[in-house]
Each structure stands twice: as C-alpha cells, then as structure tokens.
Amino acid sequence: MSPPKNVFEIFQLLEKSNCGNCGEKTCLAFAGAVFKGQRRLSECVRLDPGVAARFSENSGTENAPEAEGAAHFDQLRKEIAQTDLALAAERVGARFSGDRLTLKVLGKDFSVDRHGGFHADMHVNHWVAIPFLTHVLYGRGRPPAGRWVPFRELKGGREGYPLFRKRCEEPLKRVADTYTMLFDDMVHLFGGRQVERQFKSDISVVLHPLPIVPIMVCYWLPDEGMQSSLNLFFDETANENLDIGAVFALGSGLAQMFTKLAQRHG
Ligand code: SF4
C-alpha cells in the first residue's frame, strides 16, 4: 500500500459509519487527523488490523509513532539483556525464578527472561510490554501511597500529554455508557476490585496493570440533565514507578482494549 497522498485516500479505508468510537465526530475528521499525524489509523476500532498494519509499513504520517514505539521496545529489550533480573525483581517486588522475572499484569502472570523474551498468559501488546519493561528497568519500587490524583497532576502529564482525556477517558466513557458488562469484566476478567465509591462517583473500580501502579476508574451515571462522566485516577507515586509516557500508554491501551471487548461482546 503506497503512502496516502491526501485525506480522501485515508477516508476510503474507513467504514464511514461515523460511529464516534475513535473520539472524532466523523470518519472524515478522523482521516484528517491521521493525515496530519495527530492520530494513528489503528485507533479506528472498526478497521481491520491488517489494513492498519499495511498502512503503517508504508505511510510517512503513520510510520513515525509506530516506528518510534517499535524502536523504543527493541531498545528496552536490549537493556533487559544487560540487567541483573534478580536484583530488578527485588527492587520492584517481582518474583524471580529460573531466568524469569514475573509480575502480575491485570491479574495474569507476565514474565520476561534474561534474553528479553516474553512468557505471558495474555496477548503481549506494546501498550503492556513497554510499561512492563520500563517498570522493571527503572521503577523505584515505591508502594502506592493511597492518594489518587488525575493524570494531569502527575509530573509531565498536563504539558506532555494534553490528549489524555480524548484518547483514554472519553473512549472508556463511551464504552461504560453502552456496554453494561464493562465493570463486571474489569473485576472478573482483569483482576480488578470494586472499591468504596470515590469522589462521589456511582462506581469505582481499581485495576492493576502493574502491581504497584494501580489505576482507578470512576464513573458517574447521567443525572438530572447532566451527562455521564468517567475519570481515571493514578496513585501519586505512579511517576516514581513509570515514566509519564508509559503511564499514558497504559491509559490509552486500556481504553482500546475495552472498546474492542465491548464491540465483540456488546
Ligand atoms: S472509529 Fe472508525 S468508523 Fe468509527 S467514526 Fe472513527 S474512523 Fe469512523
């Protein structure tokens, strides 16, 4: 597939249903954002992943973030090969056995060996693997303090990732609005825990994409003319156990995963 020459070439690849699940009002707006390099084609949840991958291989606009992510991933794996995993396990509170370091990711075992190979009970996506490796290499092992803060209050959150709401919270809110099993799935499929309602929300669930990097999802139902709302909160120690880019990757990865799950089962 040759690189797109204009917005309409990208638009032709899309479903044109204007479903809104990507966070844009129309498929045409999404195509424009992809052409400008503001969005990735793979963020259209209705698109065949094969089409997005072929586009990614050849597109000047799409290639940059994908290639950057792949290069970052390769670099982290090389660093793992030079790291004492037993010491790293001690630092971040992981299990170490044989040549593997293992942590629970969303309630499932996720391991890396000394060659940077993965062994997991779940699909190894970049959005999980990069934060996992970053945590193993650089996490300080600070236990959660129990004080929840929004993403914008984490160091580098507001300035570095202004699209957090659009990429993470808005797609998850759309899932929560329409897919009634969302919070049940979080608890029963992904090791989440329903906790006492926080910030006057109607439901609060804590997920553990990494054992000491919890994410709390708070959802407010529509009420007296007010629309529903959904916010993600992080423990204030998140910055010490992950860089802000990896925290963002977890938030957007979770949003994409639950969007796809809702479409399959909703
Ligand atoms: S998710 Fe895909 S099909 Fe839906 S509006 Fe966005 S671009 Fe169009």
The pLDDT tens digits along the chain (266 residues) read: 556 678 888 898 898 998 877 777 898 988 888 877 667 787 777 777 667 766 655 554 444 445 556 778 888 999 999 999 999 999 999 999 999 999 999 999 999 999 888 888 887 788 899 999 999 999 999 999 999 999 999 999 998 888 899 999 999 999 999 998 999 999 999 999 999 999 999 999 999 999 999 999 999 999 888 999 999 999 999 999 999 999 999 999 999 899 988 888 76
Question: Looking at ligand 1, which residue's alpha carbon is closest to its atom 2?
Answer: 44
**Pairwise CA distance, residues 168 & 177, whole Å:** 15
Best residue for ligand 1 mutational test, from 8, 25, 26, 27 (most atoms within 8 Å of Cβ): 27
Distance between Cα 249 and ligand 1 center (Å): 21
Cα 95 to the center of its chain, rounded Å = 24
Q: Give me the DSSP letters along 64-88.
A: HHHHHHHHHHHHHHHHHHTS-HHHH
Instruction: For residue 80, give Cα distances in angstroms to 18, 65, 66, 168.
Output: 43, 22, 21, 29
Q: Which CATH number fits domain 7-61: 3.30.70.260, 1.10.15.40, 1.20.1730.10, 2.160.20.60?
A: 1.10.15.40
Q: How far apart are CA 240 and CA 15, in angstroms?
A: 41
- 3-state DSSP call for residue 179? coil
User: Domain 148-265, what fold?
Assistant: TATA-Binding Protein (3.30.310)
- C-alpha 213 – ligand 1 centre gap (Å): 31
- Using the atom order of ligand 1, give the atom closest to the CA of residue 20: 5
Distance 15 CA to ligand 1 centre (A): 7
Q: What is the pTM of this model?
A: 0.75
CB 122 within 8 A of CB 108: yes
Residues framing ligand 1 (Cβ under 6 A): 14-15, 17-22, 24, 27, 30, 44-46
20 alpha carbon – ligand 1 mean position (Å): 6
DSSP 3-state assignment of 250? helix
The residue nearest atom 8 of ligand 1, judged by CA position, is 27
Residue whose CB lies within 8 A of the most ligand 1 atoms, among 22, 42, 55, 178, for a mutation test: 22
